Every structure is written in C-alpha cells, then in structure tokens.
A and B are shown apart, each in its own frame.
Chain A
Amino acid sequence: MTISPPATRSRSAVWRRQFLLQGCWNYEGMQNVGFAYAILPALRDFYANRPEDALKAVKRHLEFFNTHPAMGALVLGASVRLEERVAAGETDPRAIGTFKVGLMGSLGAVGDSFFWGALRPMASVAGALLALLHPLLGVAALILLYNGVHLTLRRRGFAAGMQGPEAVVAWLKQAALNVRTDDLRLLAAILAGAYAGVFAGRFFVQGGGALPVLASLLLAAAAVHLFSVLFRKAVSPSEILSFLLLVGVLILWR
C-alpha cells in the first residue's frame, strides 16, 4: 500500500499544534491528550478512508507521554513519519509506542537540563540586569534571548524528526546540547555574579573606606553561598522567604 507523505497543510497544522502539547496536562497521562491532538491532522491524512485504523492510531497516542515541551517537537515529527510507515504497512504499530517511551525520558532530562536549568536562568538574569537600565529593555532581552534559541531548536528538531526516527539521534549528536548546557550555565553564572555585585555594591556599602567595602562584599558572598547550600539541600525559596517574612514580622512586633 502506498501512502503519500503528509501534505504541507497537515504538516504545518502538526507544527502549530505542538505548541499546545501541555494544553491538557494531567497527573495520569501527562501530555497524552496534547500529543494526540497535535498529531491528529497527520493521522487524518494517512487514514483518510480507514476510520477503524484512524481510531486505533489515536488510541496509540493517548497512552502516557511526558517529555520537555520543546523537545516534544522532535518526538512528534518522528512519530508522524513512523505513523506514515505504519499506514503503508511497512512497520509494526507497536514500534511507535516503543520509540516514544524509549525517547521521552532521555529527551525530557536533556530538555529540562538545557532549557530550564541553563537557557532560562541565563535569559532571566540577562533580562533582570538590563531591566535596571530600562524595564522594557529587560523584558525584550529576556523574551528574545530565550525564544531565539527555543524556537530555533523546536523548528530544527521538528524538521529532523520529520526526516524519520533514524535522523533523531544524528540531530541530537549534532545539536550537542550537553556542551551548550555547560556554556550557558557558565554564562548564567557570570551574569548572576554581576547581578549580585550590583546589588551588593548598592545596598551594603554605606560608608567610605576600603575595609567596609571588603566586609560588605564578604558578607554578601557568604549570604549567596549559604542560600545556594540551602537550595542544594532541597530547601525551597518559599521556605526561605517565609522565614524572612517571619523575621520581618518579629522586627515590626518589637
């Protein structure tokens, strides 16, 4: 049986719909409804005159699925290509489930580490620093820095996935996200150091002389170190803020 590749219209519909991957995020299937929704236009193309097969295909994609939303585009593109092969009778339908389950965990870890753990902190701290000059400059920097990388990776990931599951690994290797994660983390640390330095200079240094300046700097550095140790011991920022709020209330009480 020969199946035509997804029409440009359904391909762009899948691309648009992947932005709603988490539209019905839930504790049971997580992104399952979002994934089925995103791939639906392609399934309608492949199984145009076979409603029974279309139903089976939709059910396949309502299985548990969870990965980083930006990396979802890669899995989605490759799943479209696999569905095309299943519809043509070239592949076992179970291969799709195996492929998705096999990839979602590792891609989730890579995506969380890159996007949440490196790119977002870097863009946030750059935005916060520039917002000290002008609020709109900071907002623009945050949105452009993050989305410049985010949307590019989504688009390239989706295109790589659409070439087939075999291209996924090659693309991941070429993208070298682990190396970029380390680079972005280092950049975020430099910018965060500048951010801490600006505020340490603003708040702590009241009197003249080198000694108070040095003491203030050491105090600020010790505070940063203490907070980071608490974060690494899984203390939540909310818990630290609640403690500070309590201290504030006690100060007022006195």
Chain B
Amino acid sequence: MAWRFLLAILLGGVCYLDRTAACQLMLHRPLVVATLMGAVFGNMAAGAQVGVVLELIYLARLPVGASIPPDDTGAAVFGGSAAAVASSSIGLDPGSFTALLLFSVIVAEAGKAADRFVRKVNVRIARLTAESVDRGDVQAVEHGLLAGLTLFAVTGMVLALVFSGAGVAVSKELLPRFGPASRGNFAILLPTLPLLGAASVYACSRTERTSAVFFLTMAAVCCGTVLFRWQA
C-alpha cells in the first residue's frame, strides 16, 4: 500500500501544480485525477465513475479574479481512491457511490481553505522578492517564483496524501459499518448528482438558445436510452 500512496503523492503534486501554478493543461480536472487515483488504488474504472460525476458539478464556480472555487481536484483524489478501494472490499454499490460523492464536499472545502492559505503565504514571498529587487538583486525574481512553485507543489502533495488517505479510510472503516440496506437508502439521492452536474454546465452556458437546445437534447437522449433498453 505504501508505494500506492507514494504514487498518489507524486501524481497529486503534478495535478495540483497544474491547477493554479503551472500550465493549466486540465490535468487537474476531476475526470483525469479520479481516473488516475482509481488506477493507483487498483480499479481505474471505479475511479473514472466518480470522475464522470464530479467533473461537471463544480464548473458553475469559475476561478475569476481573486475568487477561489471549491477544490474539485482534492474531491477527485478522495473520491477516486475511495471508489477503487471500496470496489475491491464491500463493492461499489449505488449507496456507497453516493456516499463517497457527498463526502467529497468536505474535502473540496478543506482544499479550498488550503489554497487560500498558500496564496496568503505567497504574499510574503512576493514582498520579499520586491525588497530583494529594490536592493539590486534581479535574480530574486527567479528565486521568488521557485519558492511559490515549491509551496504550491508541496501543499499539493500533502493534500494528495491526506485526501487519498481519507478516501482509503472511509472505504475500509466507515462504509462497512453500514449494512447493505442502509447504504441502499442512501442511493435514493444518486440521480440528483449527475443532474446537478448538468445544471452546472447549463447555468454557465447561457445564450439565447441554450434552454431550448439543452432540454430538447435531454428529451431526445432520454427517450433514445429508454427505447434502447426496451428493445434490449
């Protein structure tokens, strides 16, 4: 298990760097992160299932200006690792799946608080950089940026360790305490989660024609799915 956590820390560090500090190549998106974490903890498909739902939920919150959206990367680290571990122990039934997705909101908010903390520490780094440049040290700019990057990377790695550890702990210790019947009750909430994700995209894609296009496509695909099922 130790090497799995080591790999989770390394991948988590890269994904968290991509989130704010470097490149923004979308390696930090929940679909990517949860799939990776699922693969690291033994079941890529289970991780991807969580990623598919988490991917859209937080899109309604844009990282505009100084506002920080909830940490969906952290939610995916938690959800992906938890789903993979649960699938190989109690099984990833709809109830456990729903519970993991809902628990991930705590992780997303904790990650957001950590992000805010890093940016506050960066204020100090930026001030020190400016002071050094005032004294004539031009290279301080490179050192300042390296310090900021290191802080983002280290925080990302720590968060990846904590969140994947929390995911494994929830799947191994918390979920088995509830019987299959109790977990089944939890599954009542499952249909709302993908719809929440779709609403998130719908809300941030407003144009004159969005409503008609969205609901017509939804109706057509839903009817198509049902027809396909009946024929099968």
Residues of A that sit less than 8 Å from B by CB? 19-20, 22-30, 32-34, 36-37, 40, 51, 54-55, 58-59, 62, 66, 69-70, 108, 112, 116-118, 120-121, 123-125, 127-128, 131-132, 135-136, 138-139, 142-143, 146-147, 150, 182, 185-186, 188-205, 208, 213, 216-217, 220-221, 223-228, 231-232, 236-238, 240-242, 244-245, 247-248, 251-252
Contact = CB atoms under 8 A, between A and B. Distances in A.
17 contacts: A23-B145, A23-B152, A33-B148, A58-B133, A120-B26, A121-B59, A121-B201, A124-B55, A128-B197, A131-B31, A131-B35, A189-B207, A196-B222, A201-B222, A221-B215, A237-B196, A241-B196
Interface of B: 20-27, 29, 31-32, 35, 38, 44-45, 47-48, 51-52, 55-66, 70, 98-99, 101-105, 108-109, 119-120, 122-123, 125-127, 129-130, 133-134, 136, 138, 141-142, 144-145, 147-149, 152, 178, 182, 185-186, 188-207, 209-210, 213-226, 229-230
The CB with the most chain B CB atoms within 10 A, among A22, A204, A217, is that of: A22
Contacts of B217: 189-190, 193-194, 197
A26 B123 contact: yes
B64 A112 contact: yes
Given A66-B65, A124-B29, A228-B202, 20 more contacts: A24-B147, A26-B122, A26-B125, A32-B126, A58-B138, A121-B59, A121-B201, A138-B52, A191-B201, A195-B197, A196-B194, A196-B195, A197-B224, A200-B191, A201-B222, A205-B229, A217-B218, A241-B104, A245-B105, A251-B189
Contacts of B230: 208
Contact of A197 (B103, B222, B229): B222
Nearest to A136: B35
Contacts of A55: 133, 136, 138
A189 B38 CA distance: 29
The CB with the most chain B CB atoms within 10 A, among A70, A108, A112, A220, is that of: A220
Contacts of A143: 25-27, 32
A121 B138 contact: no
Contacts of A20: 21-22, 145, 149
A60 to B, nearest CB: 11
Which 9 pairs between the two chains have the least Cβ-Cβ distance? A24-B148, A197-B221, A201-B225, A193-B217, A135-B48, A227-B199, A26-B122, A196-B198, A192-B201
Contact of A62 (B105, B130, B189, B215): B130
